[in-house]
Structure 1
Amino acid sequence: MGMVGCFCALEDEDLQAIISVPRRIHLLWSDSIPKRRQPSWLARLFGAKLRPEPEEDPWQLSQPVVDADVDKAWHGIHFLLTGTEGGGEGPLAFMIHGGEDIKEEIGYGYPRGFTSQEVKEIAAALSVIDVDQLYEQANPADFARHGIYPEVWKDEPKEDCIGYVTDYLKELQKFVSDIATSNRAMIVYLA
């Protein structure tokens, strides 16, 4: 399956509600928050205590979310935008850095939330990126040397491997621009 870069557009108040009660992030994809497992009878025999059931959370999203993903191109996009495999600062490093951690692990680590204002900054930074120029300048050997996921750079022609990354970058530019125009927040995570 692999690691997929995922994005979710939502309202600022919904993002803040999720940050304040991180388990609410599960409501983006299901009808209920998962319940904590109780210790088995054997665990209780050895001293584990029953936990009280969590209270029902009446919170609901104020508006439907809009999801997008960049498949496995997320790391290549980060590399194209920042020139680093895991570093970078500012709005163009949003694939890996920035925003506020949502302290509920999903997929591969904590998702990160960006306010609508931060999304506007990301959209502005992305809007001046010439994706075709990035494609021309990109060298698959650089991606391979830096260990950029999904590590297909030696096996595929440039139009396939780098083209895969830049095609998704174009889609991501549009998605971020659309949610910035709609004044929405964004959650970024790896699934």
Structure 2
Amino acid sequence: MGMIGCFCALEDEDLEAIIHEPRRVHLLWDDSIPPRRQPSWLARLFGAKLHPETEVDSWQLSKPVSETDVDKAWHGIHFLLTGTDWEGEGPEAFIVHGGQEIAEEVGYGYPRGFTSQEVKEIDAVLSSMDAQNLYDNADPAEFAKYGIYPEVWKDEPKEECIGYVTEYFQQLQAFVSETAASNRAMIVYLG
């Protein structure tokens, strides 16, 4: 087990509907929307209202989603793209920053949605990068120094640890390219 970088391609209108009603994000993996959590007794004491029990949301995805994951290589890919552990901005930092937060906790935090236009910007950055060049310039000691997850950099030879990251980078590169070419939006989350 561990934190897995997950990516889901969907239609822009579906992303907008999920952002509008965050519980709908569960329809990406399940065929039901969980009921809205009722406010605690303390919240009700301070004025929070109970939600109607009969509330039903019949919304459905307009088209099936496509998904991929990069296993535990997500943080290493972020480090390769930005040169930072948790910083960065713009399309290079899309794995941990950017997009619009979806206010429904999934896995390890809140997923973030990127419109089809933002996916095209991410694709432009990723498609300009060469996995072999990223591999050649990567130093496992730097990954270890910054505590890049999953922290295997001291234990494994470069061929295995950095090779693992660049192999998943290529998979992500292909997924984002296909998503951009299909004019689809994308949701990113840690599962």
**With structure 1 as the length reference, what TM-score do the two structures score?**
0.92
Aligned residues: 186
The equivalent residue for 1:159 is 159
Q: Provide runs of 4+ in structure 1 moved above 6 Å.
A: none
Q: Give the deviation of 1:130 after TM superposition.
A: 1.1
Say which SS state the counterpart of residue 189 (structure 1) adopts.
Answer: strand
CA distance in structure 1 between the partners assigned to 2:54 and 2:37 by the alignment:
11
CA distance in structure 2 between the partners assigned to 1:82 and 1:50 by the alignment:
44
8 Å contact from structure 1 (residues 23, 33) kept in 2: yes
Structure 2: where are the runs of 5+ without partners? none
1:80 counterpart letter in structure 2: L
The equivalent residue for 1:94 is 94
Check 1:84–1:38 CA distance in 2 against 1; reply closer, same or farther (3 A cut). Answer: closer
CA distance in structure 2 between the partners assigned to 1:50 and 1:183 by the alignment:
40
Q: Which structure 2 residues correspond to residues 1-191 of structure 1 after superposition, within 5 A?
A: 1-36=1-36, 52-53=52-53, 55-191=55-191
8 Å contact from structure 1 (residues 35, 54) kept in 2: no
Q: Give the deviation of 1:54 after TM superposition.
A: 5.2
CA distance in structure 2 between the partners assigned to 1:186 and 1:37 by the alignment:
26
Say which SS state the counterpart of residue 77 (structure 1) adopts.
Answer: helix
**With structure 2 as the length reference, what TM-score do the two structures score?**
0.92
Say which SS state the counterpart of residue 80 (structure 1) adopts.
Answer: helix
Q: Give the deviation of 1:52 after TM superposition.
A: 3.0
Say which SS state the counterpart of residue 178 (structure 1) adopts.
Answer: helix
Check 1:78–1:25 CA distance in 2 against 1; reply closer, same or farther (3 A cut). Answer: same
Give the root-mean-square deviation of aligned CA atoms. 1.9
Identity %: 73
